[in-house]
């Protein structure tokens, strides 16, 4: 068992006033987790500790590097505690192993040694829930598999065949357990993802900052948020200016400027600067929580949809009852009529289908695909339209320098070198891209310039060898500093048409050059788009907040002919719903919090492993490798699984019909029919668990 850092926010350089989330690689005993949390709380400089034992997670705030180090050492020391070893080696094994398979163990190894009277009692007790379920279905006017199961069990009880009763309840219980496991697995850690995990905030009262619990904050309060901190409320900026990273909400990688009058939202992060927020919404009213509520409602709707295998099994029920009636009319023998109910279709269908689903889910995991339930395999098979969110899905969400263009009289390398020299002082993704490009070209940029002045959300200003330097956005250079950018007007237009952002550099009041920044497509994106069409997807749509020109350039590079530009974060779910209303069965691929409603609205939602926590938990399918080829493997796995389920269904109908006909015409004794029926169930179950994907056929290549 080991701890690892999941996420950390801290002030740059000083590393003070930070928050850190640490998670174990297994669940923790509740009492042990709370004991650790208390020990963390006792460390000087550690505050607002919270823990989630179910996922082995600890969140705490620290005020100095020393307190941070002490807390991490405490967690490292506790990795070897007996309590954790016991949980992982014993409690988890007991919970995941013995609890699930104890009924089978009991039937094979305990039941034969029990007294006959006790076997009768236990068989009857285990049969009662299934009989009640069948009666309930009849009262609701449904003639379904539950009714057939109850009839077969009741007939076996009447014939005092308690071994058959035990076998039937075992098989049916195993099927129900597997179905429940797939449902629960998909929602297991959603609760933690829907929590902001901010305990206290700084409230400004009469010019003084007061530490206040978040749940005590009201509308109209003033909340101070500094660089590196999460924004805990929805509100309007009342004072200050800063850069807010909204990637968790919008998916866009570059921070946006927020100044007095600008709106900010809970769940985003202050990247630079300091602002005072006038609170407009808190708690369940925030946009973050509204997204969570939308998701919870969507999940509840999905949970009520019956699986295809259950519907197919229900179709066979009237046929089985009819045959049982015919046998009784012909033979006037209740035992032979009861044998028809014992040689039914539901065992193979109810057992083989969950096994096929579970086997496919396990196989998918080994290929980097986590499918959270059988209904999502069906949805993957049926989908005919793919909707991609652009940033972080089709693209890498990591800006890079695409080109460096100097003005006349300036050298390309010199422009890049000076820009890197100034930008290395700042943590913006664009700044990091410039510095990285200079490093790749082995451009040494010594600290020869004067002190750098940082203008939030605009750029930087400094001087070198007595010359004034400016680096920043077009608005900063052209509008604020009155620099003429027309010398590179043609190049600026060309770069804009390519969908690139531009960083401008001026020297002594004149434009010196520009650097073009782009968020590149994933290496495999073009090939995956082509393969998706081959896999039967009729429409492929890209959604982006970019303007039409930029969106068109990116779509052309990706091979996508249909896109929607300038889509607001809150409108993505509406776009998916509109496609659904047109009759499309939508597969949505996204990675941000703002994508979560669209992921839930879609027929099936897919998230990448490098997406936000919320998107990963809400998605029906998770690609655990940062590679879009997982979409192709998921589609092929789903299609193969559904074909096998249908094949098993057909084989079940044909073979069991033959056995039933043999009983009807007195060709097969009841015992022989029962044996053949059980063998069929076993073979169909084994067929259900065979692998679907072969390594050489995978789009990832040979494994």
Residue 419 has pLDDT above 60, yes or no: yes
Residue 16 has pLDDT above 60, yes or no: no
Average pLDDT score over the chain:
76
- Stretch among 138-152, 311-325, 665-679 having the lowest mean pLDDT: 665-679
Active-site amino acid positions? 389
Among 283, 315, 332, the domain boundary falls at 283
Are 336 and 418 in the same domain? no
Cβ atoms < 10 Å from Cβ of 362: 12
| Phi/psi-derived region of residue 508, left when phi > 0, alpha when psi is between -120 and 50, beta in every other case | left
- Stretch among 6-15, 185-194, 382-391, 459-468 having the lowest mean pLDDT: 185-194
Q: What is the pLDDT of residues 294-318, one digit of tens each?
A: 444 444 433 333 355 566 666 767 8
Q: What's the confidence (pLDDT) of residue 678?
A: 64
437 and 409 Cβ atoms separated by less than 8 Å: no
364: phi then psi, degrees, rounded to nearest 5: -60, -40
Could you tell me the pLDDT band of residue 101, with boundaries at 50, 70 and 90? Answer: low
Among 45, 70, 87, the domain boundary falls at 87
> 285 or 578, which is more confident?
578
**108: Cα within 13 Å, side-chain hemisphere:** 6
Q: Is the pTM of this model over 0.75?
A: no
Q: Average pLDDT in the 163-192 region?
A: 56
d(CA 260, CA 552): 34
Are 251 and 232 in the same domain? yes
Q: Average pLDDT in the 192-197 region?
A: 45
Bridging pattern class, strands 586-590 and 385-389: parallel
> How is the chain split among helix, strand and coil, in percent rounded to 5?
55, 20, 25
Domain of residue 455, CATH code: 3.40.1110.10
**Secondary structure of residue 88 in the 3-state scheme:** helix
| Phi/psi-derived region of residue 332, left when phi > 0, alpha when psi is between -120 and 50, beta in every other case | left
- Candidates 498, 588, 586, 577; CA nearest to 543 is 588
For residue 258, tell me if it sits in a domain.
yes
> 268 or 325, which is more confident?
325
d(CA 543, CA 558): 13
For residue 630, tell me if it sits in a domain.
no
95: phi then psi, degrees, rounded to nearest 5: -70, -45
Q: Average pLDDT in the 266-288 region?
A: 77
For residue 341, tell me if it sits in a domain.
yes
For residue 53, tell me if it sits in a domain.
yes
Are 527 and 571 in the same domain? yes
Are 354 and 378 in the same domain? no
Q: Which domain holds residue 16?
A: 3-87
CA 447 to chain centre: 44
Are 542 and 560 in the same domain? yes
CA 66 to chain centre: 35
Highest-scoring range by mean pLDDT, 42-51, 162-171, 407-416, 429-438: 407-416
- Candidates 673, 662, 680; CA nearest to 327 is 662
> 174 or 655, which is more confident?
655
> 161 or 261, which is more confident?
261
Q: What is the per-residue DSSP string for 465-483?
A: TTEEEEEE-HIIIIIIS--
Residue 189 has pLDDT above 50, yes or no: no
> What residue ranges in 206-337 does DSSP mark as E strands?
208-213, 222-226, 234-245, 256-258, 263-264, 269-281
For residue 94, tell me if it sits in a domain.
no
Q: What's the confidence (pLDDT) of residue 663?
A: 66
Q: What's the confidence (pLDDT) of residue 320?
A: 77
Residue 564 host element (H or E): strand 562-564
Q: What's the confidence (pLDDT) of residue 104?
A: 56
Are 120 and 179 in the same domain? yes
Domain of residue 540, CATH code: 3.40.50.1000
- Candidates 593, 453, 433; CA nearest to 516 is 433
For residue 48, tell me if it sits in a domain.
yes
Residue 75 has pLDDT above 80, yes or no: yes
Q: Average pLDDT in the 674-686 region?
A: 72
Are 18 and 53 in the same domain? yes
Are 506 and 412 in the same domain? yes
d(CA 557, CA 566): 18
Are 647 and 599 in the same domain? no
d(CA 202, CA 47): 14
d(CA 346, CA 677): 11
- Candidates 526, 534, 601, 588; CA nearest to 560 is 526
Residue 526 has pLDDT above 90, yes or no: yes
Are 57 and 125 in the same domain? no
Are 386 and 476 in the same domain? no
Which residues have a Cβ under 8 Å from the Cβ of 477 and sit 6 or more positions away?
A: 459, 470, 483, 485, 504, 506, 511
Which residues have a Cβ under 8 Å from the Cβ of 405 and sit 6 or more positions away?
A: 412, 488, 491, 495, 513, 514, 515, 516
- Candidates 541, 674, 543; CA nearest to 597 is 543
DSSP bridge partners of 240: 275
d(CA 46, CA 640): 53
**Secondary structure of residue 633 in the 3-state scheme:** helix
Q: What's the confidence (pLDDT) of residue 583?
A: 93
For residue 288, tell me if it sits in a domain.
no
Where does 584-628 have alpha helices with state H? 596-601, 613-618
Q: What's the confidence (pLDDT) of residue 483?
A: 93
> What residue ranges in 256-333 does DSSP mark as E strands?
256-258, 263-264, 269-281
For residue 291, tell me if it sits in a domain.
no
Among 518, 543, 564, the domain boundary falls at 518
402 and 524 Cβ atoms separated by less than 8 Å: no
d(CA 25, CA 151): 46
Domain of residue 29, CATH code: 3.30.70.100
586 and 602 Cβ atoms separated by less than 8 Å: yes
Which residues have a Cβ under 8 Å from the Cβ of 416 and sit 6 or more positions away?
A: 401, 404, 434, 437, 438, 441, 443, 515
Q: Average pLDDT in the 433-443 region?
A: 88
Are 502 and 514 in the same domain? yes
Percent of the chain, pLDDT > 70? 71
57: phi then psi, degrees, rounded to nearest 5: -110, 140
Which residues have a Cβ under 8 Å from the Cβ of 54 and sit 6 or more positions away?
A: 27, 188, 189, 192
Burial of 91 (0-12, 13-18, 19+ CB in 10 A): middle
Sign (positive or negative) of CA dihedral 210, 215, 221, 226: positive
Q: What's the confidence (pLDDT) of residue 387?
A: 96
- Stretch among 248-262, 476-490, 568-582, 674-688 having the lowest mean pLDDT: 248-262
> 233 or 18, which is more confident?
233
How many domains in the chain? 5
């Amino acid at each position: 068992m080991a701890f690892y850092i999941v996420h950390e926010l801290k002030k740059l350089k000083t590393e003070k006033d930070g928050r850190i989330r640490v998670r174990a690689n297994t669940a923790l005993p509740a009492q042990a987790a709370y004991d650790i949390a208390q020990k963390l709380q006792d460390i000087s400089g550690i505050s607002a500790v919270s823990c989630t034992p179910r996922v082995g997670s600890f969140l705490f705030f620290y005020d100095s590097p020393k307190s941070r180090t002490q807390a991490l050492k405490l967690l490292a020391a506790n990795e070897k505690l007996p309590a954790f070893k016991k949980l992982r080696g014993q409690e988890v094994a007991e919970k995941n192993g013995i609890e699930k398979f104890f009924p089978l163990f009991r039937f094979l190894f305990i039941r034969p040694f029990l007294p006959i009277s006790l076997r009768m009692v236990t068989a009857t007790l285990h049969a009662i829930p299934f009989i009640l379920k069948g009666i309930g279905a009849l009262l609701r006017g449904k003639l379904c598999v539950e009714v057939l199961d109850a009839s077969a069990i009741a007939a076996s009880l009447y014939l005092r065949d308690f071994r058959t009763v035990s076998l039937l309840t075992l098989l049916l219980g195993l099927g129900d357990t597997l179905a429940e496991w797939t449902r629960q697995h998909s929602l297991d850690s959603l609760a933690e993802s829907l929590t902001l995990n901010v305990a206290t905030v700084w409230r400004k009262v009469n010019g003084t900052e007061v530490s206040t619990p978040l749940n005590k904050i009201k509308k109209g309060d003033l909340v101070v948020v500094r660089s590196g901190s999460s924004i805990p409320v929805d509100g309007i900026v009342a004072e200050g200016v800063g850069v807010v990273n909204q990637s968790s909400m919008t998916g866009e990688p570059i921070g946006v400027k927020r100044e007095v009058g600008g709106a900010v939202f809970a769940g985003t992060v202050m990247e630079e600067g300091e602002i005072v927020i006038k609170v407009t919404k808190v708690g369940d009213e925030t946009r973050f929580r509204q997204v969570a509520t939308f998701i919870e409602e969507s999940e509840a709707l999905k949970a009520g949809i019956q699986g295809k295998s259950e519907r197919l099994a229900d179709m066979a029920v009237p046929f089985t009852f009819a045959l049982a009636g015919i046998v009784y009319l012909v033979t006037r023998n209740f035992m032979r009529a009861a044998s028809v109910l014992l040689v039914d279709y539901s065992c193979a269908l109810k057992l083989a289908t969950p096994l096929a689903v579970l086997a496919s889910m396990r196989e998918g995991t080994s290929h980097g695909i986590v499918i959270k339930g059988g209904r999502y395999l069906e949805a993957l098979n049926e989908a005919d339209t793919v909707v991609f969110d652009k940033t972080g899905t089709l693209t890498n969400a990591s800006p890079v320098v695409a080109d460096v263009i100097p003005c006349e009289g300036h050298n390309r390398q010199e422009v890049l070198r000076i820009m890197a020299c100034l930008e290395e002082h700042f943590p913006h993704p664009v700044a990091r891209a410039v510095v990285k490009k200079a490093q790749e070209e082995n451009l040494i940029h010594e600290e020869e310039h004067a002190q750098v002045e940082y203008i939030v959300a605009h750029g930087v200003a400094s001087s070198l060898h007595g010359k004034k330097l400016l680096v920043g956005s077009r608005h900063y250079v052209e509008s604020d500093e009155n620099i003429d950018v027309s010398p590179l007007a043609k190049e600026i237009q060309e770069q804009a048409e390519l969908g690139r952002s531009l960083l401008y550099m001026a020297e002594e009041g004149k434009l010196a050059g520009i650097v073009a920044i782009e968020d590149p497509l994933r290496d495999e994106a073009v090939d995956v788009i082509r393969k998706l069409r081959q896999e039967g997807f009729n429409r492929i749509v890209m959604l982006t907040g970019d303007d039409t020109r930029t969106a068109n350039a990116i779509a052309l590079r990706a091979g996508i002919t249909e896109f929607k530009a300038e889509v607001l974060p809150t409108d993505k779910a509406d776009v998916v719903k509109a496609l659904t209303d047109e009759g499309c069965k939508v597969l949505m691929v996204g990675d941000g919090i703002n994508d979560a409603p669209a992921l839930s609205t879609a027929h099936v939602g897919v998230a990448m492993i490098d997406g936000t926590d919320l998107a990963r938990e809400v998605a029906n399918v998770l690609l655990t490798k940062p590679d879009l080829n997982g979409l192709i493997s998921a589609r092929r796995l789903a299609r193969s699984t559904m074909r096998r389920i249908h094949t098993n269904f057909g084989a079940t109908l044909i073979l069991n019909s033959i056995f039933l006909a043999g009983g009807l015409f007195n060709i097969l004794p009841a015992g022989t029919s029962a044996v053949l029926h059980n063998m069929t169930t076993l073979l169909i179950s084994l067929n259900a668990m065979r692998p679907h994907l072969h390594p050489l056929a995978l789009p990832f290549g040979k494994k």
